[in-house]
Amino acid sequence: MPAVSKGDGMRGLAVFISDIRNCKSKEAEIKRINKELANIRSKFKGDKALDGYSKKKYVCKLLFIFLLGHDIDFGHMEAVNLLSSNKYTEKQIGYLFISVLVNSNSELIRLINNAIKNDLSSRNPTFMCLALHCIANVGSREMAEAFAGEIPRILVAGDTMDSVKQSAALCLLRLYKTSPDLVLMGEWTSRVVHLLNDQHMGVVTAAISLITCLSQKNPDEFKTCVSLAVSRLSRDYTYYFVPAPWLSCKLLRLLQCYPPPEDGAVKGRLVECLETILNKAQEPPKSKKVQHSNAKNAILFEAISLIIHYDSEPNLLVRACNQLGQFLQHRETNLRYLALESMCTLASSEFSHEAVKTHIETVINALKTERDVSVRQRAADLLYAMCDRSNAKQIVAEMLSYLETADYSIREEMVLKVAILAEKYAVDYSWYVDTILNLIRIAGDYVSEEVWYRVIQIVINRDDVQGYAAKTVFEALQAPACHENMVKVGGYILGEFGNLIAGDPRSSPLVQFNLLHSKFHLCSVPTRALLLSAYIKFINLFPETKSTIQEVLRSDSQIRNSDVELQQRAVEYLKLSSIASTDVLATVLEEMPPFPERESSILAKLKKKKGPGAVSVNELEEGKREGGELNGGGERGADNSNMAASNASTPSPSADLLGLRAGPPVNAAAPSAGSLLVDVFSEAGANDDGFLRDLEPPTESSDSLLAEGPGDSDSAPPSVVSEDPAAPLPESNELLNKFVCKNNGVLFENQLLQIGIKSEYRQNLGRMYLFYGNKTSVQFLTFTTTVTCPGELQSHILFMCTFKKLNVQAKPVEPLIEGGAQVQQVINIECLGDFCDAPLLNIKFRYGGALQNFSLKLPVTINKFFQPTEMASNDFFQRWKQLSQPQQEAQKIFKASHGMDTEVIKAKLLGLGMALLENVDPNPENFVCAGVIQTKAQQVGSLLRLEPNSQAQMYRLTVRSSKDTVSQRLCELLAEQF
């Protein structure tokens, strides 16, 4: 055969390729290519019709040019022409060009589809395969539309050749992945499952891929494949002495779509198979070739995945773990890598967690000695996964010591992991503080904002660790060179808790101050700003330092600093320290109140890094870039919090920045000044990573802080929590939809507040009970709620809201919800006419001084005022016909977003409030309902018909009612329910 290989090519093409290869420079190459393009263009445009061979050759040259990385904007038509050639080689090149170059050029697609259609019906297996390949390669929606019906027929037809079946199965899989809605289940589906029994190995192998994908989406329809797959597992061919590795792996993968088989016999056989696979791993290799061991171990790892997936056979799990343990010491790097990776999943199973832990020493050793960074990374991942209370100290210590020499590419992730483990398994917080300070010492550059914010949050929230933290950070700062992050933490903690160690003459106030100030000149502007805030806090903590600090603030390098932020702070702090009385100073500069508990921002950051241990060069870069951008914003947040103190007393241009527009006057600043800080801080902290957004009470400040550019405080927009009612939350529509078919439940929940709802309706009247639960341990102050009806609604519904709160019956004007308490509010509703928009509920309160302000939609929808109407089939159709004006009907066809379970659908329709009529629709699959909407002004009769199509996973919904707006609204509401 080799002789054939070069002889059948195209000579002109070979010459062109070698010309290109002989080009000495990029310019020469481009010149040669342009010459060739001009030549081809003129040939294509010429009057003389090209013969098939030339056409093929030029198309092939164009393809080559394209693959070199140049744009090709012609030749598509010629390629399409080649498709209809009856010479195999011409057709083949045509298809190759189309597969590589055509995405979905709409005019061409029709021509291409035509050619494909001809080839599919040609009964020539080679042509059919070419056509199927082309469909799979392009895989566009237009192609799916054209062929999704045809391919299943080819796949299961009795007279289709095996090679065509193989292609058809994979082609169908491709179409199913791009356009699942177009591949309709049908009679062929059951026959596809039986391809598992096919004699032809290639057909089975190709079909399993298709069946696996279909089973993931429709497990019930393909359930029978489990027993077929199990019986197939134990047969068939060998690849380097391993029985059918591809087939076996795919079968094991297919089984992972299902729970363990219920049938005892099937399960017994499967367990036997799995045991055989585990046993075989212990046998001596039958060949020294790496292919043999790869194929054998591929099956083994797939079997272990299945065992982990079942997570129900303790014996197998432990055996799997032991097997992986052996691999941990294998001389093949690949196996060590895979064993570490696989053990990560095993570590989360309760049966095998302990068994995994016994390998801790090996894994630690891998972390220290592996030559390959990707293996070391898997080892770090596994250590992270196997960590629990019992071994946390050891693992954290090992990771810390590894950090000193770790590869730059994984340091940031390692830092995050250490920080998380230290926090999660901290028994005593002094250990936690030590660990984080060590982190900063060892890998300061990789310690992101999240990490050092977090240590400060924790120190502030736990008074048992504050003295220790102050002492340790003081000691850490003694080092001649310490990382800037250490200075930040030091400045913050000493500014808050320096007094706790001031009794010791070695750390007297002045010593502390001098120590901090000795770092000042080495630091960047944001850190200097933070230090200035620490200094003003010192003046409050230690009056004896006042003159020294004032002198520093007064010096030209501060008060005339070219950086506006630093200058402003120096001026304001100096002024504050000289005019404010000690009392005022003490209140303004009070100790920070505790932070609200929230998910650790570090954890969120790690989660964001895709998957455990997914680190790549560019992702890290991305992370850094992000870190860099947010850096400014984040720090600003952090020390703006300190800054707020000064602004509270000296309104300045930057006051708006800090959310004080509506802030309290100077004297009353005490409680809120301090706590406002918390909020600015935590908002900034959260924005810093940006993924806590869903956990955040969505105040406006979070948005504007985010939008604020780092550095230019003057031009930054005000970040104020507005006192005006906030616009409804983005999710409020979704929340509203949850209550269309039910009357009770939890309307809303975030970190702070839960709102439950109970409602009842009679005729055109309704009564709703709202329950506001405070989830924190802190009071909500000035809790107010207002209900408004947007626009047209106002004229129709009358709301009579009475505020009834649990603890404040005597003074309803001073609403306050104690931590952990719940208050109830009654809302009476009367429907005067039909309406679309739901009323808005605005909620405002102060939590830790920060104003929370958000709005929800109250789940009052038109269908709540339905009265069910029972009627017989005749009546129904008569009325249906009466409502035949076009605008009286609204119709929607939509995809099922939940399972299409009949009982669930019935329950939802009943919840809607209409009567569900049995035996009315001639098709028993369909649902019809009838009801009358009661408003004060009029009654609106409505009829509904819902037609599910379970094959297509679609519904058609038709609503007719005497009022067009009602039909529309009902249709909209209901389309979201199924």
Partner 1 sequence: MMHFLLLFSRQGKLRLQKWFLPLPERERKKIVKDMTTMVLARKPRTCNFLHWKDLKIVYKRYASLYFCCGLESQDNELLALEILHRYVELLDKYFGNVCELDIIFNFEKAYFILDEFLMGGEIQETSKQSVAKSIEASDMLQETMEEYMSKPAF
Number of chain positions touching partner 1 (CB under 8 A):
87
Longest dimension (CA), the chain: 102
Residues 184-203 binding partner 1 (CB under 8 A) are 201-202
Contact 236, 247 (CB under 8 A): yes
- Is 424 annotated in a binding site? The answer is no
Residues 348-407 binding partner 1 (CB under 8 A) are 371-375, 377
Residues 583-612 binding partner 1 (CB under 8 A) are 610-611
- Contacting partner 1 (CB under 8 A), which of 238, 348, 616, 784? 616
Helix (H, G, I), strand (E, B) or coil at 893: strand
- Is 53 annotated in a binding site? The answer is yes
Q: Is 714 exposed, middle or buried (0-12, 13-18, 19+ CB in 10 A)?
A: exposed
Matching residue, tokens 């009022």: 963
Q: Does 67 bind partner 1 (CB under 8 A)?
A: yes
**Buried-state track 769-786, b at ≥16 Cβ within 10 A, e below 16:** ebbbbbebebbbbebebe
Which lies closer to partner 1 via its Cβ, residue 12 or residue 756?
12
Cα gap 713→709, rounded to integer Å: 8
Q: Where are the alpha helices (DSSP H) in 235-372?
A: 245-255, 264-282, 290-310, 314-328, 333-346, 353-357, 360-369
E strand or H helix that includes residue 94: helix 88-101
- Contacting partner 1 (CB under 8 A), which of 6, 26, 48, 881? 6
At its nearest, how many Å lie between partner 1 and the CB of residue 72?
A: 11
Candidates 211, 245, 213; CA nearest to 228 is 211
Contact 927, 933 (CB under 8 A): no
- Contacting partner 1 (CB under 8 A), which of 27, 158, 503, 617? 617
Which lies closer to partner 1 via its Cβ, residue 42 or residue 923?
42
Cα gap 355→325, rounded to integer Å: 9
Helix (H, G, I), strand (E, B) or coil at 818: coil
- Is 59 annotated in a binding site? The answer is yes
Which lies closer to partner 1 via its Cβ, residue 53 or residue 351?
53
Return the range that interacts with partner 1 (CB under 8 A); candidates 171-179, 439-447, 539-547, 866-874: 171-179
Contact 854, 729 (CB under 8 A): yes
Residues 929-948 binding partner 1 (CB under 8 A) are none
Residues 216-245 binding partner 1 (CB under 8 A) are 237, 239, 244-245
Rg (CA), the chain: 36
- DSSP annotation of 817 reads B
- Is 60 annotated in a binding site? The answer is yes
Q: Does 464 bind partner 1 (CB under 8 A)?
A: no
Which lies closer to partner 1 via its Cβ, residue 173 or residue 973?
173
Matching residue, tokens 């995405």: 103
- Is 57 annotated in a binding site? The answer is yes
Cα gap 615→618, rounded to integer Å: 8
Q: Does 323 bind partner 1 (CB under 8 A)?
A: no
Contact 538, 513 (CB under 8 A): yes
Residues 690-749 binding partner 1 (CB under 8 A) are none
Contact 967, 942 (CB under 8 A): yes
Residues 98-157 binding partner 1 (CB under 8 A) are 100, 103, 126, 132-133, 136, 138-140
- Contacting partner 1 (CB under 8 A), which of 76, 232, 319, 336? 336
Residue 21, both tokens: 């290869």
Which lies closer to partner 1 via its Cβ, residue 202 or residue 756?
202
Cα gap 381→417, rounded to integer Å: 9
- Contacting partner 1 (CB under 8 A), which of 23, 29, 44, 64? 64
Matching residue, tokens 């249906």: 880
- Is 61 annotated in a binding site? The answer is yes
- Contacting partner 1 (CB under 8 A), which of 174, 411, 417, 519? 174
Helix (H, G, I), strand (E, B) or coil at 397: helix
Residues 502-531 binding partner 1 (CB under 8 A) are none
- Is 58 annotated in a binding site? The answer is yes
Which lies closer to partner 1 via its Cβ, residue 129 or residue 658?
129
Cα gap 157→800, rounded to integer Å: 69
- Is 488 annotated in a binding site? The answer is no
Which lies closer to partner 1 via its Cβ, residue 410 or residue 905?
410
β-sheet bridge partners, residue 787: 841
Helix (H, G, I), strand (E, B) or coil at 836: coil
At its nearest, how many Å lie between partner 1 and the CB of residue 137?
A: 8
- Contacting partner 1 (CB under 8 A), which of 247, 426, 447, 576? 247
Cα gap 539→537, rounded to integer Å: 5
Q: Does 327 bind partner 1 (CB under 8 A)?
A: no
At its nearest, how many Å lie between partner 1 and the CB of residue 155?
A: 13
Binding mask 16-35 for partner 1 (x = CB under 8 A): xxx--x--------------
Q: Does 166 bind partner 1 (CB under 8 A)?
A: yes
Which lies closer to partner 1 via its Cβ, residue 206 or residue 768?
206
At its nearest, how many Å lie between partner 1 and the CB of residue 361?
A: 21
At its nearest, how many Å lie between partner 1 and the CB of residue 280?
A: 15
- Is 963 annotated in a binding site? The answer is no
Q: Does 950 bind partner 1 (CB under 8 A)?
A: no
At its nearest, how many Å lie between partner 1 and the CB of residue 269?
A: 22
Instruction: Please state, as a whole number, how many other Cβ atoms lie within 10 Å of the Cβ of residue 504.
Output: 11
Contact 347, 354 (CB under 8 A): no
At its nearest, how many Å lie between partner 1 and the CB of residue 442?
A: 25
Instruction: Please state, as a whole number, how many other Cβ atoms lie within 10 Å of the Cβ of residue 555.
Output: 12
Residues making up the binding site: 11-12, 43, 53, 57-61
